[in-house]
Amino acid sequence: MDTLDQDYPQALLAAHTPPCLSLYQPTHPAHPERQQDVIRFRNLVKLLETSVPTHHGARDVAALLAPLHALADDHVFWNHVLQGLAVLRNPDHAHVYRLQRPVPEVAIVADSFHTKPLLRIQQSADRYQVLALSRTRARLFEGNRDALAEIEFVAEVAASAPEATGSDLRDVERATRVYGAASAEGTTRHGTGGEQRLRDNETERFFRSVDRAVIQHHSRPSGLPLLLAALPEHHSLFRKVSNNPLLLEAALDVHPDDLSSDDLRQRAWQAIQPSYLARLGALLDAIQAAAARNLGSLDLADIARAAQQGRVATLLVDADRQLAGHLDPTTGAIVVEPAAQPTSGDLLDDVGELVLRKGGEVIVVPSARMPSDSGAAAAYRY
């Protein structure tokens, strides 16, 4: 099984030997909906099978599709699907990805892979991290509006207080008893106060350790906003010791263990959405202002030429639209086909890939928030 975090974008946007087959479909982890997934997958494979000779002449279609037929017969795989599936196949490679969000059902044969659904999943525009923190334990999650998954701390991150401080509650209790016995005031009263001070010191040491490690190994490399989920009494202490510039003011005042994973995702997205919409609104305003100064465009043909020249700094593409056609990557010229067919390539996808290869940023945006009806909008570097 391939890992999207490792493969996208470098491996999947590299030059590939055509034909490139791209298959996407929503899947269902639960029974009985899951039973229909294999049937839909086989139908999409048949569509690819009939399309390869049409688009790329006579080839060894059987060898090309053999991994897809094998996947259709893999009962263990279909018993462990998530919300979506992506299969990318060409004569040299076969990539299979279980996806944590649904994707539109498509089967495309082209000279390059159709990767816009993967870009939407991987893009940072609506992604965030959640630090689920208690006095003795830390967990980190990463996701977007549709999915939230726990990610492993790197080895250097202490995920529990004993790991971070080298002690546990038994150490605290032993130290408290010693403190109380040595006091002339009596064991009970001063033992309780000593225990609380020791607990507070251990908690602060743990929070500082978590903050340093998350900054170094997770926040700084990802650049994603960080949402804190913790009991109210732990928020002030963590914010006091934290130096993380990506820590949001918004927070979840709840013990994270009291929420299911889906409840945590829903509440996290409610907290994150205002900052996402603010960022998207600022991008839209900037692109429209740039277009008014001839430093941007809402026209796909202009954007494609600018992309080939490496001038596109930021590109917005319509998440819900597929535009059939052909892009010449050497000139940026586009040819729009009259109507999209099930196996047609996507011009928006091709332009987005070209922008990424030239070092630009691509953000996949819902149709309702696009500033144009061309399917694309861009701000230029110059």
12 located within any domain: yes
Instruction: Identify whether residues 237 and 133 lie together within a single domain.
Output: yes
State the Cα angle at 372 between 366 and 374, rounded to 5°.
95
Instruction: Identify whether residues 116 and 254 lie together within a single domain.
Output: no
Instruction: Identify whether residues 300 and 249 lie together within a single domain.
Output: no
Alpha-carbon distance values, 342 to 37, 292, 349 (Å) = 18, 36, 15
Residue 128 has pLDDT above 80, yes or no: yes
Residue 289 identity: A
Q: Which range, of 51-60, 183-192, 241-250, 298-307, averages the lowest pLDDT? A: 183-192
Please, what is the average pLDDT of the chain? 85
- Indicate the residue among 275, 303, 323 that finishes a domain: 275
- Indicate the residue among 246, 275, 304 that finishes a domain: 275
CATH of the domain at 70: 3.30.960
The length of the chain, given as a count of residues: 382
319 located within any domain: yes
pTM of the model: 0.69
Encode burial over 1-24: b for 16+ CB neighbours within 10 A, e otherwise.
ebebeebbbeebbeebebbbbbbb
User: Both tokens of residue 193?
Assistant: 């106060």
289 located within any domain: no
Q: What's the number of domains the chain is made of?
A: 3
CATH of the domain at 301: 3.30.1330.30
Q: What is the pLDDT of residue 169?
A: 42
Instruction: Identify whether residues 156 and 230 lie together within a single domain.
Output: yes
Instruction: Identify whether residues 102 and 132 lie together within a single domain.
Output: no
Mind listing the pLDDT tens digit for each residue in 79-106? 999 889 999 999 999 999 998 788 889 9
- Indicate the residue among 122, 157, 175 that finishes a domain: 122
Residue 156 has pLDDT above 70, yes or no: no
Instruction: Identify whether residues 246 and 301 lie together within a single domain.
Output: no
Instruction: Identify whether residues 145 and 88 lie together within a single domain.
Output: no
Instruction: Identify whether residues 95 and 134 lie together within a single domain.
Output: no
Task: Enumerate residues 6+ apart whose C-beta is below 8 A from 256.
Answer: 130, 132, 133, 134, 139, 229, 230, 264
Do the beta carbons of residue 288 and residue 370 sit within 8 Å? no
CATH of the domain at 221: 3.30.420
Encode burial over 113-129: b for 16+ CB neighbours within 10 A, e otherwise.
bbbbbbbbbbbebbbbb
Range of the domain at 323: 294-380
Answer with the residue of higher pLDDT: 41 or 189.
41
Mind listing the pLDDT tens digit for each residue in 197-248? 888 888 999 999 999 999 999 999 888 999 999 999 999 999 999 999 999 9
Instruction: Identify whether residues 116 and 145 lie together within a single domain.
Output: no
Give the pLDDT mean for 191-196.
Answer: 68
